[in-house]
Each structure stands twice: as structure tokens, then as C-alpha cells.
Amino acid sequence: MSNVSYHISNLLEKMTSTDKDFRFMATNDLMLELQKDSIKLDEDSERKVVTMLLKLLEDKNGEVQNLAVKCLAPLVSKVKEPQVETMVDTLCSNMMSDKEQLRDISSMGLKTVIAELPLTSSGLNLTASVCKKITSQLIGAMGKHEDVSVQLEALDILSDMLGRLSGALVGFHSSLLSSLLPQLTSSRMAVRKRSILALGHLVPCCSPALFSQLTEHLLTELAKGPPTSMTRTYIQCLATISRQGGHRVGEHLEKLIPMVVKFTSVEDDELREYCFQAFEAFIRRCPKEMSPHVATVTKLCLKFMTFDPNYNYDDDEEEQEDSMDIEDGLDEESDDEYSDDDDMSWKVRRSSIKCLDALISTRRDLLLSFYSSVCPALLARFKEREENVRADVFAAFSMLLRQTRVGSSHHGLVVAGSDSEPSKEEEPAVTMLKKQVPVIVKALHRQLKEKSIKSRQGCFCLLTELAHTVPGALEQHIPALIPGIVFSLTDKSTSSTMRIDALTFFHVLLLSHPPQAFQPHMQVLLPPVVACVEDSFYKITSEALLVAQQLVRVMRPQGQTGGFDPKPFVKEVFSVTLKRLKATDIDQEVKERAITCMGHMVCHLGDHLRAELQGVLAIFLERLKNEITRLTAVRTITLISASSLKIDLSSILPEALTVLGSFLRKNQRALKLGTLACLNALVTHHAASIKPAALDPVLSELPALVDESDMHVSQVSVTLMTCMAKACPSSLAKISSSVLPGVFRLVHSPLLQGSVLAAIVDFLQALVLSKTSNLGYSQLLKSLTDPFHSSQADAAVIHRQSYHSVARCVAALSSACPKETPATVAGLMKEVKSPGSPESARVLALLCLGEVGRTGSLGGSKEVQGVILEAISSTNEEVKTAASCALGSMAVGSLNDYLPFLLKEISSQPRRQYLLLHSLKEVISACPASSLSPHVESIWALLFQNCECQEEGTRNLVAECLGKLTFVNASQLLPRLKQQLKAGSPLARSTVVTAIKFTIVDHPAPIDSLLKDCIGDFLKTLQDGDINVRRVALVMFNSAAHNKPSLIRGLLATVLPHLYKETQIRKDLIREVEMGPFKHTVDDGLDVRKAAFECMYTLLDSCLEGLDVLQFLDHVEEGLKDHYDIRMLTFLMLARLASLCPAAVLQRLDRLIEPLKATCTTKVKAGSVKQEFEKQEELRRSAMRAVAALLAVPEVERSPSMADFANQIRTNADMASIYQSIQGGEGEGLGPAESMDMS
């Protein structure tokens, strides 16, 4: 200890030296000491250091003064409260001194101290007391009118303090407000501006009453019609508090808007600018409350965006382009005449355009009306003379394009891909935009040749957006755009960012338009791009290589022969790319892109390279061995090997295969997958030049890759072996001991399904047909079925999924070797019949029979039918289920043999009905419509006899069959379902509504257009008298919102009120049940409420723009106090809302926090059961996730209640640990546990 004190007293002594250098060095050393975390000062040293530093603030030497200020920062956290107060007192009194220098340095000191005051709970007392001291002094200082600079400093410090520590100053808010308001009338502009800033920082955390007081004050003052300069200040103040206080302004808009509108007609440019800034703030912060005023504001914006009284835009647009040169000369002179420094009209234009930008970005719902009103106006302003304003016009137009893109991608997905209807339904906005394309190109065409770089950059950004929004729309206009692109790439005065922008746009243009559009212009386009590849700046080179790669594709697209001859252009692209490819001392990105570009050249134009080709391939081999470029090289070799030019790779193949084999051992997953794809391409296209032994290094690595821990890698590996079995079968001779056991393990894995299973099925078929390995049909069959026969085969060990996988594989083998099928079938039937065989073997045999029958190879064999029926009557549940599955599969294979028999059994065997309906479901799901249509009537009649069954399970099955059957002939069957709604009992209605759920699939289907017309009728069941029908209607609505939002978007206005109604707790559905001595409450409405909240959650993802978020939040708020399951759901919704529409959540924050707080702080009763504890724990974690999501919203801690709760979490060990675990365990905010399972 004493050592530190001694060192510090030494430094203090030097600080009193007369030599300024000594003082400087000593202060510097002190600062370094203070910055060490370990330093501890005793009270005496603290006092001395503080006194000394405050004295040094008055030092004659400026550098010493500056250092002393810097020392204050670390000092604040190292000394105790009394010393901090001493510092603050001295600094405050010095700030009022008459000496200007002392005043400046003290105010810097105060700002430093404020920036360092602790925000943690432990330091809050210190912060609060220091703030009180400073604030009272500053309020005094502001009252001193005699010296303006003191006032300015005081306002500045106050802004800093309110910005950082507003929460600690709550007590002072009203006195601050009353001392700041008079400053708005100060004669000095600077004072007014700084007061506005300070008010802006005060607004977010002050109480609603104070906020109203402030707004009322501004309104009253404005109503008096003050002089223009004062009006400007008040309007500016309005804009600032609206920006900072957000939604609070919403309540006052009714009075504010007319006032601001009135002032736009005053002839004062700056005032108008502030008016539009206020509008912009209102629009961004309270989009909902602004709705009634949007039309007024749009009209004003459109009027003032062309406001340019001192300049006459002759319609020089219309004159021919030829006279451009002369005009340019004139333009410059005429510009000089007007360059009045006092012409402020551009500010009005700029602010009104920014206001339009805000409108476009917040009101997607008005997009169509913007296209008719705003779009032409913006296009007309592309000729704006003021560069900065023009940049804003471009920005606003780009925003319009982005909003169009958001919409079209969202809705277009549903229709895209439905090739059956050639007319893809287009967003109306996109259609309107396409009509404007010629006008846009015409307006930009001239700008692209302007000297102004900012304008050109704006043009390119706008065109890039356009190409993204409507790909292909610029095809006719490419000749008009090319001169502009070439000019920007070749112009000597062009900056590098300009070139990069031009290249980026060119790249997007090449990607989004057909090659034929560019071929005629090749000799103009290529030289500037080639020049850019040779540029010394690596970013330009790398962009240019991307463009060159696309140009190579344009010269000869895959699959196109004849037409355009690329020969004249090959040499120049090749030489510059080769130069970059050979260089090793260049940027990583350039290396990678040079490899890819050269790869494309070899792939598309390899036949033109002749002698050079082998050299290039050798370089690729080198790059393949280099760790930095290996992944790019692997992808490039994949590209070349699949080229239609049949490039000869024999020179590098043997070595490349060895290197590629070694990559399969690496940990990098992307490299593994890339390598497998590359090997696949090589084996498929170049099998002739591969010696069987060359594949050994690859085969030896495969066993480790075929494993259930990474299904995708396994799938690609199995596909590679299938290729080998087809292309070079001899290489697979040794496979039985190495890879095959892994493949069988995978077949028996519970995780196997979908595409991986399909890959294995292909592989087994290829393997049996290649007749290479010593594994014939019978051995493969034995390996597949063995685990099911072992006597101790415990059914629990073998997962149900593996039965189905093995059955698929057995069927595949039997279809590959039709000669073996009869024997196999006989064996399987024997297995099913023999009473001695274990359950697992019988179940497997049944499923295999089903899969073999699915291909139709069993015909209508009566013997098989008997075996299956016998199994359906078995006492063993597993065997029964397997038999119903098998029956369904066989019926798919030979419909006419089995279907009538199946229908007869369903009506005559009520006991087995459920199982037989399962078989029927399989038939309806798997059979093509054409073969089903003769049987539709009989199936339909049968299903409707059973649609009022008491068993819910059977009803759901019937509904699924009905839904899937509707696909066969939707135009006739959908109306029948609709009829049934009016006729049936509640049970029949619920079956029909569930059937509709099964007609909504997540991919485009022909039934969609019919559904869209009638889904409204089915949704009317949301008002059904029967609670169960309402529940199924909600489940159906949820399915529609999840899988095909386009069906219900238009109906939201009518459906939402009924949906929200179902979220309310209904007392009449809650009853008490006596269970012995205990009373137990049962809530019959819980399931319906749960279904309603699930719908709300889904709507957030799929139809957010159709929701009124504030109304939505009202119901979320109710759900936060509901039953356990519903609270879990609403916590998820809240977290989602916090990221999707933070503004609305902030608006409701105070009401949302209470229930969250209640959940986080609840304790379970001491004697509760374990489940109770776990439930409560899960609830608290879920609530805490919602809190974490709220805390991630910027500006959230400005709300006093949230700041208070956040503090409570930090200080309470229990809550803090939950919060920590959520932040740490699941990344920021939403982890994987957050997304709800919507299957």
C-alpha cells in the first residue's frame, strides 16, 4: 500500500514544479497509474490527488490542462463519494468564472465526469447525488442571462447528462422543464438550438404529464402567431421531441397537424423545411395515428418537392440529345447566375422528399396509390439541379422499389412454380412499375453521363434496385444503358467507389437478363472491363473479375451453339485473367475470383484455349493443394468436369483424386461437401480416364462419412458410391467390409428418411445390378433384415422408422431383380404366418409385402390378401398397424383388385374401421388422380357415412381422407363440402372444416384458386355455436396462415374480430369437478383459446402487414395473465414482436412489463410437486427470454418502468442467473428453443 502512496506523493510533488515539462510528465504518469485496475488509494491520497488535479486545471500550459481533464475520467471510479462531490463543486463554480479558458476546461471536465458516472445498481447513489449537485448548479447558470457562453456550456452539459443519466434525474424533470422553456425565446439562435437538444433528451423518460405540459406549451405559443424566427424554433422543437419521444406525440397529433400545415404556407424556406421535418418525425414515430393525415401530407410534399422559384427548368428534356454539348455550355453559365447563396429553396425540396421517403417506408399498404401519385412526381424530379437533393430523390425512389420487392417476393412465392397456369399472378404494384421502366431509363440515361459523381452513384444504386425488383425488365433498354456504364468505367476523373458501383450494377444486370441481350455489344463492353481487371486497386479487380466471369457466360451460354462467335474476344479476357491467376502476392478475394473466372472460361470456351489449357489445369492443381484457395479450386474443378465441352482432365486426374481424397478427412464441412460434389462430377463425366485403383484413396475415407451424425454428408457420400457403381463398378470390389456396414447402420437408424433414404435405395439397386462385389441379392437382403430376426430383438431397440426404411430397401432390391421376387414374397408370407417368429420380424415382413405390392408386382393374389386380413385381426397392436399399412400400399399397386374389397370391409367391419381407414388414407395419398377418379363417388359416400363418428381419432382420419380426395376433382368436390356445412350436425361440421385443413398444402396446387374463392365460407364456422367446431376452424385458419397466407390475407378484416373474441377467458365454460375430497376447476374454453393464440403467433410471421399491431398487443397483454400454456405462447409472441415492430411494443411497454415481472418473481409454494416446480421454472425462463428480447430493442431503458425492472434483474441473484443463462446459452435474444413448432 505505502509503496503506491509513496509513488503518488512523488508525482504530486513534481506537479508543483515550475518546469512545465515536469508537470506534464508527472500528470501523464499519474494518468497511467490511475488506469490500472489494481490501484487502491487511501483517503489522504485521494484528497491530495483530487485537489492537485483541480489546481492543474488552472495551469498556465494548455497541454497540462488537457491531461488533467483526461485524468478525471479514471479518477471518478477510483475515489469515494465525498471526493467526487468536491470535484463536481469546484468544476461547477469554475464553469461560471469570468475567465473563458477556465470555463471551457471546466465544462470539459464536467462532461468527462458525467460520462464516467457508474450506471450499475451499486453506484446509483453516487450518480444520483452527483447529478443533483450538477443539475441545481446548471439550472442556476442558465438563469444568468448576462453571459451567453455560460448559458451555452450549461445547456451542453445538461444535454449530455440527460442523454446518459436521465433516469437518475427524475426528481428534477419538472424544474428542468420550467427552466428550459424560457430559453426557447432567447434572442440567441445557439441558445435556442441547444435548449431544443436538451428537451429532446428529457422527453423519452419524463412522465406523461410533463410531456403533455411541454406539447401544450408549444401549441399555445404557436397559436399566438409569434415572429417567424420564433415559429421556426417551436416547430423545430416539435420535430425533435417527436423524434425522441416517439409514440407519445400520437395523442396530440389531432391538434398539431393543422398547426404545422398552416405554417407551410408562410413564405419562409427554413420554416417550411422544419415543418416537413416535423411531418417526417410524426410519420416515422406514429404511423398509425398519422393515417387520417397521410393524404394531406402527401399533397403538401408533392407540392413543395418542385418548389424552386428562382430557376426556370426549360423543357430542355424534350430537345434532341444531339444538342447536348452546346446545352452543357449554356447550363454552366446559367447556373452561375443563380448561385445565390441565399437561395434556400433546395432545403424545402429536400425535406419534402425525405418526408415522402418516410411515408413510403412506413406505409407499404398504400403502395398502389404511391405508384399513381408519388412515382411520376419523383421521376419528374430526376432533373433536379441541386446535387444533394437529387441524391435524396434517388433514395426515395429506391425505397419505393424496395417496398415493391418486399411485397412481391412475399406473395409471389405462392404462385411461382405453378407451371400449370402460365399466367403468373403479378403484384399490381409490379405491373405498374413495369409500365414506368421506359420513363425511368429515359430520365437516368442522361444522368449517367453527368460529371457529378454523386449523381451517377445514385443512378447506379437505383438501377441495381430496379434490376432486383423486376428482373428482365431492362432488356429493351440495355443499348441505352451501356454508354453510361462504359463512361463510368473509362472516365479518367472517376473515383474508385464510382467504378465499383458501376461494376456491381453491371454484374446484377448480367445476372438478371438473358445473354442474347448483351452479345451484340461485346466489343464495347469487354475492353473497359478488361482494363478494370488490370486496375491496381484490388477491390476494382475483384468486382471486374466477377463481371468478366458473367461476360464469358454471355459469350457462349451452356447449351447454346452457333449464333454468336466468341473467338475475337477470348484472347483478351484470357490473358488478363491468367495474369491474375498466376500472381500469388495478391488479395485473397482476387485470388478466389480469378480461379472462378478462369474456371468459367475453361468450362464455356475451353475449345478456344487449345495449347494454353494444360498450363491452366496445372495451375488449378497447384491452387487445389493450397489451403487458402482449395475450396474455390474444388468448386472450379466441379464446374469444369461437368462442362458440355468434355474438357480433357487426364493430365491432372490421378493427383487431383489423391488430394481430393485427403480433403474428406478435414473438419471443414463446406470442403467435405464440395469435394464430394466434385468427385461425383468427375466419376460421372470422366469415368473412362479413371483407373479403378485411383479411387482407392477416396473409398478409404468414405466409411467415416456415412454416419447418422451428419445426414447431408452421408447422402452425398452414398450418391457418390451410386455413381461409382454405375460408372466404374470394378472400383467397388472391396466395399463389403468397409462402407457397407455403415450404410446398413444408416438404414437401421431412426433418423433416416426422405432424400437420404432415396439415395440409399438408388445405391442398393445400382449395387445389385453392377454385380461387382461379392454381395449378391441374398446377402444384401440378409444384412438388411438380420437385426429384426435375432431372438433377443427387443422391439424397443429398433425404431419404428427403421422398419419402414428396411421395407423400402427390400422392395427396391426385389424390383431390381424381378426373378427373385416370387421366392422373396413366399418367404415373407411364411414369416408372417409362422407363430414362432418374433414380433419385429412379422411386422417387418408385413411392411415389406406392402412395399413390394406397391409396385404392383403382386397382382390381386388372394393368398396375400388372406394373410393380410388375418394379420389385421391379430391381437398384437404393432402387427395390426403394420397390416393396415401393407394393405394400403398393396391397394396403391393394384387399385382395381384391392379398393372395392377395402371399401366393403370398411362398411362391414366397424371394429377394424380405424385400421382400414388408415389403409384408405394411404391409397388416396399415394394414387394419381387419374386412377382414383372412377372410384371417387363410392369412396366419398363411404366417408360421409362415417363423418359423425363419436371417436375423434376416426373423425380426423375421415377428414384427412376427404381433404386429400378433394384434390382429385376439386371443382366438383369443394362445393359439396360447402353444402355439408349447412346440413350436418356439429360433428359433421367439424369433420368438414378439418377436411379443408388437409386441402391447404404448402406448395402451389391447382386447387388454390378455388379455395381462395370459398375459404371465407368455411371460416364463417369461427362463429359456430359449437365450441369444438370453433376450435377446428381456428386450427384450419392457422394451417392456412402458415402454409398459404395468400388465401386469407384479404379476409383478415372480417376474421380477426372473431379470432380475438376466442382469446378471451369465458367464465361460463369454467366448471368445478369434485374429485373425492378435492374440488378441481376445469376450463373447457382452454383449447379454443390456445388455438386462437397459436393463430395469432402464425399471423405474425405470415401476415404482419395485415395486422393492427396495437390492437394485437391488447390481446397479447391479456394472454400474459392467462393459463400456463397460453402464457408460454404469448411470451414467444412478445419476443417476436420486439424484433418485428419495436415501436409499437415501446408504446405499450408499461402495460406489458407488469405481467412479465409477476411471472419472473413468482415463487412456487414450498410443498408443491416436482412438475409444479419444473413448470414454473420453464415459465420464468420463457418470460425472461421475452424480457431479453425487449431489452435488445434500442431506447427501451428510457422507459422508467423498464429501467427499474432491468435493475431488479441485475440485483436479484436468482433472476440474474436465469438472464445470464439465456443470454449465454442461446445466443443473443432468440435461440433455437424460441421458434414454435408449427407442424
Q: Is the pLDDT of residue 508 over 90?
A: yes
Could you tell me if 73 and 115 are in contact, meaning their C-beta atoms sit under 8 angstroms apart?
Answer: yes
Q: What is the pLDDT of residues 1059-1118, one digit of tens each?
A: 999 999 888 888 888 888 888 888 888 999 999 999 999 999 888 888 888 889 999 999
How many other CB atoms sit within 10 Å of the CB of residue 485?
Answer: 24
Nearest CA to 1120 out of 1045, 1190, 1027 is that of 1190
Label residues 86-107 b or e (16+ Cβ within 10 Å = b): bbbebbbebbbeeeeebbebbb
Residue 724's identity, in one-letter code, is M
Q: Band of the pLDDT at 1225, cuts 50, 70, 90?
A: low
DSSP class of residue 1236 equals: -
Grid coordinates of 64:
497540462
- Which pLDDT belongs to residue 402? 92
Query: From CA 858, how far away is CA 806, in angstroms rounded?
Result: 19
Residue 926: burial class (beta carbons within 10 Å; 0-12, 13-18, 19+): middle
Grid coordinates of 285:
414515430
Nearest CA to 770 out of 822, 739, 735 is that of 735
Could you tell me if 806 and 844 are in contact, meaning their C-beta atoms sit under 8 angstroms apart?
Answer: yes
| % of the chain exceeding 90 in pLDDT | 32
Residue 831: burial class (beta carbons within 10 Å; 0-12, 13-18, 19+): buried
- Which pLDDT belongs to residue 550? 94
1195: left (phi over 0), alpha (psi -120 to 50) or beta: left
How much is the average pLDDT of 1015-1038? 90
Grid coordinates of 764:
442398393
The full DSSP string for 306-325 is: T--TT----STTSS-GGGHH
Q: What is the pLDDT of residues 322-381, one digit of tens each?
A: 433 433 433 433 444 445 566 889 999 999 999 999 999 988 888 889 999 999 999 999
Could you tell me if 414 and 1004 are in contact, meaning their C-beta atoms sit under 8 angstroms apart?
Answer: yes
How much is the average pLDDT of 547-563? 84
Comparing 1027 with 166, the larger pLDDT belongs to 1027
Query: From CA 657, how far away is CA 697, in angstroms rounded?
Result: 8
- Which pLDDT belongs to residue 979? 85
Nearest CA to 522 out of 568, 455, 484, 480 is that of 568
How much is the average pLDDT of 1214-1239? 59
Task: For residue 1079, list its beta bridge partners.
Answer: 1074
Q: Band of the pLDDT at 121, cuts 50, 70, 90?
A: low
Mean pLDDT of the chain: 85
Most confident of 221-230, 297-306, 863-872: 297-306
282: left (phi over 0), alpha (psi -120 to 50) or beta: alpha
Q: Band of the pLDDT at 298, cuts 50, 70, 90?
A: very high
DSSP class of residue 1070 equals: E
Q: Band of the pLDDT at 320, cuts 50, 70, 90?
A: very low
- Which pLDDT belongs to residue 422? 35
Q: Is the pLDDT of residue 425 over 70?
A: no
Query: From CA 675, how far away is CA 660, in angstroms rounded?
Result: 6
Residue 442: burial class (beta carbons within 10 Å; 0-12, 13-18, 19+): middle
Q: Band of the pLDDT at 1171, cuts 50, 70, 90?
A: confident
Q: Is the pLDDT of residue 229 over 80?
A: yes
Query: From CA 600, how far away is CA 643, in angstroms rounded?
Result: 9
Q: What is the pLDDT of residues 785-822, one digit of tens each?
A: 888 877 554 545 778 888 889 988 998 888 888 888 88
Q: Is the pLDDT of residue 163 over 90?
A: no
Nearest CA to 688 out of 658, 719, 653 is that of 653
Q: Is the pLDDT of residue 1134 over 90?
A: yes
- Which pLDDT belongs to residue 859? 63
Grid coordinates of 355:
418526408
Q: What is the pLDDT of residues 383-416, one digit of tens each?
A: 888 889 999 999 999 999 999 987 665 433 333 3
How many other CB atoms sit within 10 Å of the CB of residue 615?
Answer: 11
- Which pLDDT belongs to residue 531? 93
The pTM score is 0.77
- Which pLDDT belongs to residue 335? 43
Query: From CA 177, how far away is CA 194, in angstroms rounded?
Result: 14
Q: Band of the pLDDT at 145, cuts 50, 70, 90?
A: low
Alpha carbon 315 to its chain centroid, in Å, reads 45
The full DSSP string for 383-437 is: G-SSHHHHHHHHHHHHHHHHHHHHHHHHHHHHHTT-TTSSS----HHHHHHHHHH
1081 sits in which H/E element: strand 1078-1083
| Phi, psi angles (nearest 5°) of residue 492 | -65, -35
Query: From CA 507, how far away is CA 77, in angstroms rounded?
Result: 55
DSSP class of residue 1213 equals: H
How much is the average pLDDT of 1154-1181? 86
Q: What is the pLDDT of residues 174-206, one digit of tens each?
A: 888 888 888 888 888 899 999 999 999 888 878
DSSP class of residue 823 equals: H
- Which pLDDT belongs to residue 820? 85
Grid coordinates of 469:
425488383
Q: What is the pLDDT of residues 91-110, one digit of tens each?
A: 888 888 878 888 888 888 88
Least confident of 125-134, 194-203, 695-704, 1172-1181: 125-134
- Which pLDDT belongs to residue 779? 83
Least confident of 544-548, 664-668, 1159-1163: 1159-1163
Q: What is the pLDDT of residues 599-621, one digit of tens each?
A: 999 999 888 888 888 999 999 99
Query: From CA 1054, how far away is CA 1019, in angstroms rounded?
Result: 10
Could you tell me if 1100 and 1115 are in contact, meaning their C-beta atoms sit under 8 angstroms apart?
Answer: no
- Which pLDDT belongs to residue 314? 63
> 437: which residues sit within 8 A by CB, 6+ positions away?
466, 470, 473, 474, 477
3-state secondary structure of 1072: strand
- Which pLDDT belongs to residue 341? 62
Could you tell me if 511 and 472 are in contact, meaning their C-beta atoms sit under 8 angstroms apart?
Answer: no
- Which pLDDT belongs to residue 945? 84
Q: Is the pLDDT of residue 739 over 70?
A: yes
Q: What is the pLDDT of residues 258-275, one digit of tens each?
A: 999 999 998 899 999 999
- Which pLDDT belongs to residue 317? 45
